[in-house]
Structure 1
Amino acid sequence: MGKNIDVELKNIQKSFGSNVVVENFNLQIEQGECVSFLGPSGCGKTTTLNMIAGFLEPDQGDLFIKGKRMNGMPSNKRELGMVFQTYSLFPHMTIFENVAYGLKLRKTPKSEMQERVKKILEVVKLPNVADRYPKQLSGGQRQRIAIARALVTEPSLLLLDEPLSNLDAKLREELRDELKRLQQEIGVTTIFVTHDQEEALYLSNRIVVLANGKMEQVGTPWEIYNRPASEFVHTFIGKSNRMYGILEETHPSQLRLRTEEGFALSASPKGIELRTGDQVSMYVRPERIQLAQEESASTDMNSVKGQVKLISFLGAYTECEVTVGKHTITVRLLAEQEGGALKQGETVYLEWKPEDMFVFPRKVE
C-alpha cells in the first residue's frame, strides 16, 4: 500500500539576485507528519516555507500539495494554516472574531462558525476568552489563539514559522508541549521552521537540516543526533567536544588516530571518506564520556588523562570541564554518577567507546 504524500518539492531553486538561497531542494512529506526545517539564519528554511505557502515563487522546480501542482497558485487557494513568529492578531477584533476570520472569508454559516470557534478554543485550552481582545491576553495565550485561528479552517497543511521564539523559556516549553499534543491529536501535516535544535528534536517526526540553501541531512531526530551525515550536522545539533589529530591506520572495523597531544585513540568508521595520513577533527559528545580516578585496563575503551578545571551542578546532571593538553573537554554526568564527589584540580581519566567518536577531515581555516 502506497504512502499518502501531502507535500512534495522537486528540484526547487530560489535566488535573490546572484545569491542562491535554496538550491536543488527535494523532499516528500507524508500525511500527518511533523517535519522541521532546521538551520542557522540565512540557510534558506523560511524562504522554502514561503514558497510552500505561496508568498514566493520558485525560480525552478515543482511544488505539489495533496498531489496538485501549486506553482503560480495564490496562497489563499492552498488550504493552508500559518502561524508566524509575531502573533499577527487583529488588535481591534475580539478573540472570537480573530479566530473566526478565515471562516468568515469562506462564508461559513454563522451557527457552524460559532461551533467550530468554540471547539478549537477548547482544543488550545482557552475556552473562556472569546469576548476578550488580544491586548488582554499574555504572549503565550496570544500565540495559542494564532494557532487556533490557523487550525479552525481545518487546513490540509499547517506551517509554523518560528512560532515560539518571542516567548520566554518557561512559556516556550509549555507551548512546545501543547503544539506536540495538538499535532498528534488533530493529525494535521505540519512544517515547522526553527533555528532551535531542541524544539526540532522534540517536535518532529523528521528533521531537514539546512546550511547555505542546501539540505545537509534528512532523518529522524535519533538519526540526526546519533548518525550525523556531516561535520556541520554533528556540530549544529547538540554539544560536542572536538580534538585535532592525524589518522594513522584504517581497518575495515576501526580507525587508529593520534591527537595533537599524542594520545592514541580508536574510532569506528561511519562511512565518511578518510585516508591514512589525513589531518582530522575528532568529536565525542559530553554524555558519552565516563570519568574514572584510575586508568582503565580495558583496551576496548579510549582513555585520556586530564585535570578537572570546572564543576557545574545543573540539577539532573553535573557538567565538568576537564583540561586535556590544550583542549578543554566537557563531560556530562547524570545525577546518580556521583558528580558531587569530584574536586577541582583533581587528575582524572576520560573514557569513551570507539563507536561514540566521530571523525571528519580537518578543515584548515
Structure 2
Amino acid sequence: MTKSYDVELHQIRKRFGSTTVVDNFNLQVERGECVTFLGPSGCGKTTTLNMLAGFLEPDEGTLIIKGKPMNGVPANKRDLGMVFQTYSLFPHMTVAENVAYGLKLRKVSKSEIETRVRKVLDVVKLPHLTDRYPKQLSGGQRQRIAIARALVTEPSLLLLDEPLSNLDAKLREELREEIKRLQQEIGVTTIFVTHDQEEAMYMSDRIVVLDHGKVEQIGTPEDIYQQPATAFVHEFVGKSNGFQAVITGGDEHHWRLKTTEGMTFSAKRNDRLYNSGDEVSVYVRPEYISLEKVGSMQETAEEAGVNSISGTVKLLSFLGSFIEVIVEAGSHIITVRTNYSPIISFAEGEPVKLSWNAYQANIFPRKEA
C-alpha cells in the first residue's frame, strides 16, 4: 500500500547570490507527524520553512502539500498556520480579535468565529483572557495566543519557527510540553525549527539535522543520538569526546586504532570500510564512560572490547541527578557524566581510570570531522 504524505520536498535548492543555502533537500512527512529541522545558525532550516510557507520560492525542486504542488502558490493560498519567533500579535487588538483575525479574512460567519475562538482558547488554556491586550500578557501567554491564532483556522500544516527562543528556561520547558500536548491532541502535521537539541529531542517524531544547507541525517531522536550518520551529527547533537586516530587493523567485530598520542583503542565495525593507515575520528558520549578510583575495590578487570585509560580529575560539576567530571588523560581533556552518589565521591587532582565498551564508540573518516 502506497503511503500518502502531507508534505513532500523533492530536490529543493535555494541560492542567495552565489551562495547555496539549501542544497538538494528531500523529505516526506506523514500526516500528524511532528518533524523538527535542527542545526546551527545559517544551516538553512528557516529558509526551508519559509519556502514551505510561501515567503520564498525554491530555485529548483518541487514542494507538495496535501498532494498539491505548491511552487508559485502564494502564502495565503496554502492553508497553513505559522508561529514566529516573535509573537507578531496586533497590539491594538484584544486576544479574541487577534485569534479571530485569520477567520475574518476567510469570511467566516460571526457565530462560527465566536465558537472557534472560544474552543481554541480552551485548548491553550487561556479562555479567561479574551478581552485583554497583548501588552497585558506575559511572554508565555502571548506565545500561546500566537499558537491559538495559528490553530483556529484548522490548518493542514503547522509551521513553528523557533517559537520558544525568546522565553526564559522554565517557561520554555513548560510551553514546549504544552505545544507537544496540543500537537498530539489535535493531530496537525507540524514542522518545527530550532537550534536547541533538547527541544528537538523532546518535540519530534523525527529530526532533520542540517549543516550548511545540506541534510546530514533524518531519523528518530533515538537514532540521531545513538546512531549518528556523520561526524557533524555526533558533535552537534549532545556532548562527545573526540580522539584522532589511525586504523591499525581489525576483526569481524572491531576496528583497532592508535591515537596520535600512542593510545590504543578498539571501536565497533560499521558499514564503512577502512584500510590500515586510514585516519579517523573516534567519538564516545560522556555518559558511556565509566569512572573508577585507581586501585579501589571497584576497579574492574580488563575485558575484551573494553577501552581503558588513566587520568586525573581536573574539575567536578554537580548537575542534580548526575555529576560531570572533567578528566585530563595525557593531552586529552575527557568529559564524563556519572550518576550522583553520596557514597562514591571523587576529588579534584585524584587519579582515576576511564573505560568504555568498543560498541559505544563511533568512528568516521577524519576528513568529515
Could you tell me which residue of structure 2 aligns to residue 307 of structure 1?
A: 312
Deviation per CA, 1:38-70: give whole Å up to 9, x if none: 111111111111111001111111111000011
Could you tell me which residue of structure 1 aligns to residue 151 of structure 2?
A: 151
- The 3-state SS of whatever aligns with 2:142 is helix
Could you tell me which residue of structure 2 aligns to residue 279 of structure 1?
A: 279
**Matching residue's letter, 2:42:** G
Counterpart contact for 1:94–1:133, Cα < 8 Å: yes
1:1-365 map, 5 Å: 1-293=1-293, 294=299, 296-336=301-341, 341-363=345-367
- The 3-state SS of whatever aligns with 2:305 is coil
1:261: Cα distance to partner?
Answer: 2.9
TM-score by length of 1: 0.97
Which 4+ stretches in 1 moved above 4 angstroms? Answer: none
1:298: Cα distance to partner?
Answer: 2.0
Counterpart contact for 1:91–1:134, Cα < 8 Å: yes
- The 3-state SS of whatever aligns with 2:50 is helix
CA distance in 1, matches of 2:2, 2:9: 18
1:273: Cα distance to partner?
Answer: 4.0
1:259: Cα distance to partner?
Answer: 2.0
Task: Could you tell me which runs of 5 or more consecutive residues in structure 1 were left unpaired when the two chains were aligned.
Answer: none
Counterpart contact for 2:322–2:337, Cα < 8 Å: yes
**Matching residue's letter, 1:335:** Y
**Matching residue's letter, 2:355:** E
Larger deviation, residues 89-98 vs 295-304: 295-304
TM-score by length of 2: 0.96
CA distance in 1, matches of 2:97, 2:343: 55
Counterpart contact for 1:333–1:339, Cα < 8 Å: no
**Matching residue's letter, 1:358:** N
Larger deviation, residues 309-318 vs 292-301: 292-301
Percent of matched pairs sharing the same residue:
65
Q: Cα RMSD (Å) of the superposition?
A: 1.4
**Matching residue's letter, 2:60:** Q
Counterpart contact for 2:209–2:217, Cα < 8 Å: yes
Aligned length, in residue pairs: 364
CA distance in 1, matches of 2:102, 2:200: 28
User: CA 1:309–1:360 in structure 2 vs 1: closer, same or farther (change >3 Å)?
Assistant: same
User: CA 1:352–1:6 in structure 2 vs 1: closer, same or farther (change >3 Å)?
Assistant: same
- The 3-state SS of whatever aligns with 1:246 is strand
Larger deviation, residues 276-285 vs 79-88: 276-285
- The 3-state SS of whatever aligns with 2:58 is coil
1:335: Cα distance to partner?
Answer: 2.2
- The 3-state SS of whatever aligns with 1:305 is strand
CA distance in 1, matches of 2:244, 2:362: 12
Larger deviation, residues 158-167 vs 264-273: 264-273
**Matching residue's letter, 1:359:** I
CA distance in 2, matches of 1:152, 1:230: 40
CA distance in 2, matches of 1:272, 1:80: 42
**Matching residue's letter, 2:242:** R
CA distance in 1, matches of 2:57, 2:368: 38
CA distance in 1, matches of 2:171, 2:162: 14
Deviation per CA, 1:243-273: give whole Å up to 9, x if none: 2222111323210012233222110012234
1:121: Cα distance to partner?
Answer: 0.7
Counterpart contact for 1:295–1:303, Cα < 8 Å: no
Deviation per CA, 1:59-112: give whole Å up to 9, x if none: 111111000011111111110000000000000000000000001111111111
